[in-house]
Structure 1
Amino acid sequence: MASMPVDMELKKAFQEMQMKMVQTTQQLKVADSQVETLKRKMQHSRLVDRELTEIPEDTRVYQGIGRMFLEMTVPEIRDGLTAKKKAADEKIKTIEVSKEYLEKSLKESEKSLRELVLSKQQQR
């Protein structure tokens, strides 16, 4: 009878750990997809910027905004692209820090579960 509460405690700890692992892996997948999307946006901005360097600065250029096109200068568009690249890079760094925290949290909970199992084995 005395071993019954211990088994329930371990079972509960395992269930919590499994739920945490599922949530963490889902969050990591979301973070990975966000990083990939941002990297694609950065690559697109780089390609457009490279194409804009090849045309004269006094050329009429248009930027699509919703369902309309806005006439802008080449330097304005290049500045906007630079800002987009910088914002995407900062967001990627933030997501990477978040991923590191999630992975660290998962490892710590695994470690605490192992310690719980070891302590229960030593009590027997």
Structure 2
Amino acid sequence: MAFQELQSKMVDTQRKLRLADMQIESHYISIRKSNIANSVISSYPADTRMYDSVGRMFLLSNKKAAKAKLEARNKAAEDRINQLVFNKTYLESELRESKDNLRELVATKKAAA
């Protein structure tokens, strides 16, 4: 009973770690895309019309607002990455603890048998 609980906890923690890794990579990709878009926007004149996508429509914007939106998106992605990395370190320590508990349980069962 305890063995199954420890094993299921370990599997769940491993799944959460993989999910965190995928989310971190996704946010890094988002940051790279925003940086590319920002560099392209920087090459345009200041009075260029820009359009922001809102649902199924587009709103007229300017270069300054478009760059600010991209920078805000980058900041949000960086904050989320930091949060995920912190969560990942906690999950790694939890996984280590689960593995140690599982080894200890197996060792006590072997010693008892």
Relative to the length of structure 2, the TM-score reads: 0.88
Higher deviation after alignment, 77-86 or 20-29: 20-29
Residue in 1 that maps onto 2:34: 45
CA distance in 2 between counterparts of 1:121 and 1:18 reads: 17
Aligned-residue offset at 1:28: 1.3
Aligned-residue offset at 1:92: 0.6
Number of aligned residues: 113
Aligned-residue offset at 1:118: 4.1
Q: Could you tell me which of 63, 69, 76 is aligned with 1:87? A: 76
RMSD (Å) for aligned C-alpha atoms: 1.7
Q: Could you tell me which of 41, 48, 54 is aligned with 1:59? A: 48
Relative to the length of structure 1, the TM-score reads: 0.81
| CA distances 1:24-82 after superposition (whole Å, capped 9, x unpaired) | 11111211121121111111110110001100111111111111111111011101100
Q: Which runs of 5+ in 1 are unaligned?
A: 1-11
Q: Secondary structure at the match of 1:112?
A: helix
Residue in 2 that maps onto 1:100: 89
Residue in 2 that maps onto 1:34: 23
Aligned CA distance change for structure 1 residues 47 and 61 (closer, same or farther; 3 Å):
same
CA distance in 2 between counterparts of 1:36 and 1:110 reads: 26
Q: Which runs of 5+ in 2 are unaligned?
A: none
Aligned-residue offset at 1:13: 2.7
Aligned-residue offset at 1:93: 0.8
Aligned-residue offset at 1:117: 4.1
Considering Cα pairs closer than 8 Å and 6+ residues apart, tell me whether 1 or 2 has the greater RCO. Answer: 2
Identity rate, percent: 39
Higher deviation after alignment, 111-120 or 100-109: 111-120
| CA distances 1:73-105 after superposition (whole Å, capped 9, x unpaired) | 101110110010010001011011111111101
**In 2, are the aligned partners of 1:13 and 1:113 still within 8 Å (CA)?**
no
Residue in 1 that maps onto 2:67: 78
Name the larger-Rg structure. Answer: 1
Residue in 1 that maps onto 2:101: 112
